[in-house]
Amino acid sequence: MGKAESFDFTDMAKYNSEAQLTPGSSRKGCFISVYVGILILFLVVCLVLGVGLLIYFARTDQNCSDKSGISEGTAAELIDKCKDFIDKGDTTLCEACTKSTSAIPVTTPAPSKLQDVRLPMSVLPELYTVELQPNMYEGPPELFTFNGSVRIRVKCHESTNNITLHINKLNLTEEIRVTPVGSSFPLRYKRHEIDTKRQFLIVYTTASLQAGQYYDLDLSFIGPLKDDLHGLYLSSYRRNNQTVYAATTQFQATDLRKTFPCFDEPAIKAKFDITLVRKGHLTSLSNMPKITSDNRGNGWIADRFKTTPPVSTYLLAFIVSDFNYKEDKTANNITYRAWSRPEAINQTEYALSVGTKVLTYFEDYFGIPFPLPKQDMIALPDFAAGAMENWGLITYRETAMLYDKHESSESNKQRVAVVVSHELAHQWFGNLVTPSWWDDLWLNEGFASFVEYMGVDYVHPDWKMFDQIVVEDVQDVFNFDGLVTSHPVYVPVSHPDEINEIFDRISYGKGASIIRMMRFFLGEGTFKNGLKRYLKKLEYKAAFHDDLWYALGNQSAIEQKNINVKEIMDTWTLQMNFPVVKVTVMADGNIRLTQKRYLRDYDAVDPGKYVSPFNYKWEIPFTYTTKSSPNFNQTDGDIHWMHKTEQEIITSNIQQSHWIIGNVMQYGYYRVTYSDENWNRLIQQMDEDHTVIHSVNRAQIINDAWNLAKSGDLSMTIALKTVNYLDKETEFVAWQAALRELGYVDSMLERTALYGPFSKFMRNKVSGIFNPSSLSSSNFTHLESYVNTLIAAEACKYGLQSCVDEASRLFKLWKQTPHSNPIRSSIRLTVYCSSIRHGGIEEWDFAYKMYQQSNLASEKSRLMLALSCSKEVWILSRYLKYSLTPSEIRKQDATDVITYISKNEIGRGLAWDFVREHWSQLLKEQGSVLYKFSRLIAGSLTKLNTRYELRELEAFLRENPDMGSGTRAFQQAIEKTKSNIKWMDKNYDIVKQWLVDQGFLNP
């Protein structure tokens, strides 16, 4: 799945203190009640055994395979066998292995009961023949439904008296039939039961089904067609005061079972024959091309689609809409179409051009042609995530696919390119080769999140995507992964709520970061050929992460590099957090390395949910460079491995008076620290001539220093000095890294006496670089525009007069000629926000009118955000009221509006009061869209930093113990507030002294 936007705030504040939140609070995440939590905990414990077993198998030794009767074979073959055993619930092999693996402890000890929420494997589907008909043409939308039928051709693999599959929220309408294929036996249906807890439909038969025999299972059903964004759901948009309806789908992770009964697990692949029934004025779409359209009478048309290849259930897609399309062909002759509302069809061109290029690039890079005859992409007005990689029919929210050359910003453009590339990467990683179970979700999402950079880099090499990944993913996810409440990328999950919860920054961002590190230590050629080997071997099948380690390891053996990929990568995937490496140059010129687990707060109590199998030691590909011979262009040949040990010595002859930098280009997923003397040498270098150090390592120095200061590993005084040189900085990544940290300081100081002097410091850093003409000129490259946008946002935010004046002037011009906006599109959010903040009701009402009239999703989001910048209490209160009035603000945007208002220093109290006052309504209306609701809680409470506020929060939790999906987010808000208080206690006086030293505050 594509990342959901936590914000469409990218123009102004990519580095917003949002980034400081705890895991799961951004992009996507779901939350569970205490009771469900207990159930899940039990299920986790059950599943952990299975995980532990797989871990054992992955390192099965000869002894083990002898005992279990497995004949000799390659490690990969053993894994295949082990997967079969686990699927069948056979633990004899596991016991044999357990006894012989004393070297490395299991992740967590646990009893056995793996199969609880998993389907039995005795009967499996081969082909589904499905017909679906959405009924959304008459009557009130609350009563819309869909109905349909499915025939599932199943094969019996083990004699049994029942067929167990998934079902959720459907009513069966006709008698169930079970018919043996190719024989004249009578029907075998006896009775059925529905286990709502496990979402199972269990169909019992009159006589046992025989192994090797095929059966047809026939089911008919009806279900509600609601606007709940999951399963087959109702989408709508407005045209000339009329509501236009469409039916569309989102099945990942476990919602196909809401549309028809099915075997809804990723590894259970089957072929699908789909028929969609629609009214004549609409169009239908599915994964495969349409082959026939039959007239059913009364205006109904039945469209039948070509049979799919074997595919996982979560990758299907069905759409009935009145959308239009633009069409192109890829270099390899695959039909590529981009669909949208007819009004927005011209905004599809950019996504189409990126899509056709990137699809061909990936075919070439992965060495496997795209297996379907067509690829559709469609922009939907209502969509929960950023996008979804359904095979051959990728769905997007509008802001992730639509782009208007004149109206959209450069960051809108990059977001479209990135999401298109991400979803296309999934066509191989996920769709062709699918993780056996959701615990390896990171294989899907981590890979797509890394490969997306490769695709965009291919189309736009000048965007320096491989520099950007350092701030967008590596440093971003460090924030979440430095907490004791993080989780390993490979994580046992079972219940659907728990599965949804791991669509988070760890699976995406850490997954991408460690794959980037792996590409570096393997070398590009080995990485690429190993991937080809992995994909080819497992195409149309399911994979376990060890399959990938062995494919890459074998490739490195062929090339005589002999890198033990599994041994290395296990340390990065089976334990959470990451190391900090201390680099010391010794008197003899050698380098001493020591490693320890980095935690933002060393006093935090580890909840003990995950136990490290490696005692929090890592296999670290260490690199360094020095002042005497700076080299930022290193390869795998320059690596010094630091093993799972406390200390390593690198023989060298470094001059002690010269600086040294560890982790060149921040390829490794770890932080680095030094003696204070070396930190000061690096700071001195940045002050004198920062260009000697590559911009990626400048970003790294800032990010490491500030976060080591947060954890107490480094003095805050040194961290503060790393940003003094900023008035000379012109590179995006370094600014981004710096502003992420300064944004946090800002949010802490916002309501204190230091805010004035701090604002003065910020104005001082940007005043020399800011140019008022950048607000309207369009003469910039992509990355120049990124930097200018950041600088202008800071300049206006901290009240640099030339920025505020120019923004007001341009806004006035726009008001006079609403149809020709003179503001550079990339900088509009800053200009809107500044003008609304310094303006009154007239500016606000004009912007609100423009918000309602805009046909471009990204312009709408930035206006929605800018409207929260007002300083007038009554205007903000009215806007809060609008958020719960669907005729003013769409229901899906309500929590965003409240969150935005809570970011405003004046709106914060208002929003918090509003949330408390409308708590039950919000819980009822927004609680089902879990990730949004938790984002609201996390977003509106993130800046609290006084003991009084902490007491208020705790009291609220006592009064409202059952917060449903908001529980975890609320607990995290309390944890966050505590750490903010700590920061204030520790750093307020240091920051004060620093502002005095710089001359921004009189002592």
| Catalytic residue numbers, as ranges | 423
CA–CA separation, 876 vs 865, rounded Å?
Answer: 12
- CB 63, min distance to Zn ion, A: 40
Q: Where are the alpha helices (DSSP H) in 798-943?
A: 801-816, 828-838, 841-853, 857-866, 873-883, 894-903, 907-917, 919-926, 930-941
For 21, list phi and psi in degrees, rounded to 5.
-70, 175
The DSSP bridge partners found for residue 596 are 580
Q: Is 272 in contact with 128 (CB distance < 8 Å)?
A: yes
CB of 233 to Zn ion, least distance (A): 20
Task: Write out the two tokens for 334.
Answer: 């695959």
What part of residues 365-424 is at the interface with Zn ion (CB under 5 A)?
none
Q: CA 261, 267, 268, 271 torsion: positive or negative?
A: positive
Q: How far is the CB of 429 from Zn ion (least distance, A)?
A: 9
Residues 623-642 that bind Zn ion (CB under 5 A): none
Provide, rounded to whole angstroms, the least separation between the CB of residue 501 and Zn ion: 16
Closer residue to Zn ion (CB): 445 or 546? 445
SS (H, E, C) 667-688: CCCCEEECCHHHHHHHHHHHHH
Distance CA 376, CA 572 (A): 36
Are 288 and 424 in contact, with CB atoms under 8 Å apart?
A: no
DSSP state of 474: I
- The minimum distance between CB 272 and Zn ion, in angstroms, equals 21
Sign, CA dihedral 989-991-992-994, equals positive
Q: Most distant CA pair in the chain: distance in Å?
A: 97
Question: Cβ of residue 599: shortest distance to Zn ion, in angstroms?
Answer: 29
Closer residue to Zn ion (CB): 435 or 772: 435
The SS3 of residue 484 is: coil
Question: Residue 138: CA atoms inside 13 Å, Cβ hemisphere, count?
Answer: 1
> Among residues 82 and 448, whose Cβ is nearest to Zn ion?
448
- Nearest distance from C-beta of residue 629 to Zn ion, angstroms: 41
Rounded CA separation 685/663 (Å) = 17
Question: Helix crossing, 524-538 with 349-366: angle to 10°?
Answer: 90
Buried/exposed code over 242-259 (b: 16+ C-beta within 10 A; e: otherwise): eebbbbbbbbbbbbbbbb
Residue from 1, 58, 569, 639 that binds Zn ion (CB under 5 A)? 1
Cα separation, 800 vs 995, in Å, equals 18
Closest CA to 224 of 110, 168, 342, 144: 144
Total residues at interface with Zn ion (CB under 5 A): 3
Site for Zn ion in 226-255 (CB under 5 A): none
What distance in Å separates the CA atoms of residue 635 and residue 338, rounded to the nearest whole number?
A: 40
Closer Cβ to Zn ion, 361 or 814, answer by number: 361
Residue 315 is a binding residue for Zn ion (CB under 5 A)? no
Residue 641 φ then ψ, to 5°: -75, 130
Contact 690, 729 (CB under 8 A): yes
For residue 389, the minimal CB distance to Zn ion (Å) is 6
Of 450 and 983, nearer to Zn ion (C-beta) is 450
Please give the helix or strand (H or E) that residue 20 lies within, else none: none
- Comparing CB distances to Zn ion, the nearer of 12 and 448 is 448
Q: How far is the CB of 445 from Zn ion (least distance, A)?
A: 5
Minimum distance from CB of 482 to Zn ion (Å)? 24
The Cα 869–Cα 863 span in angstroms is: 10
Compute the least distance from the CB of residue 426 to Zn ion, in Å. 5
Nearer to Zn ion, 1 or 696 (CB): 1
Phi-psi sector, 27: left (phi>0), alpha (psi -120 to 50), beta: left
> Closer CB to Zn ion, residue 1 or residue 319?
1
CB closer to Zn ion, 389 vs 731: 389
Q: Which amino acid is it at 124? A: L
Residue 753 backbone dihedrals phi, psi, to 5 degrees: -65, -15
In the shown chain, the binding pattern of residues 436 to 465 toward Zn ion, with x for contact by CB under 5 A and - for none, equals ---------x--x-----------------
Residue number with the shortest CB distance to Zn ion?
448
* CB closer to Zn ion out of 305 and 391: 391
Nearer to Zn ion, 1 or 288 (CB): 1
Tokens encoding 161 = 């008296």
Q: Which of residues 482-511 bind Zn ion (CB under 5 A)?
A: none
- Residue 315 corresponds to which amino acid? L
Region near Zn ion per CB under 5 A, out of 1-9, 42-50, 193-201, 544-552: 1-9
- Where do we find the tokens 């590409």? 519
Based on CB atoms, which residue is closest to Zn ion, 444 or 479? Answer: 444
| Least distance CB 489 / Zn ion (angstroms) | 14
DSSP tag of 405: T
Residue 61, classed as helix, strand or coil, is coil
- 775-801 burial, b at 16+ Cβ within 10 Å, e below that, comes to beeeebebbebbbbbbbbbbbbbbebe
Torsion angles phi and psi, residue 57, rounded to 5: -60, -35
Encoded amino acid at 270, one letter: A
Residues 957-976 that bind Zn ion (CB under 5 A): none
Provide the binding-site residues for Zn ion, judged by CB under 5 A. Answer: 1, 445, 448
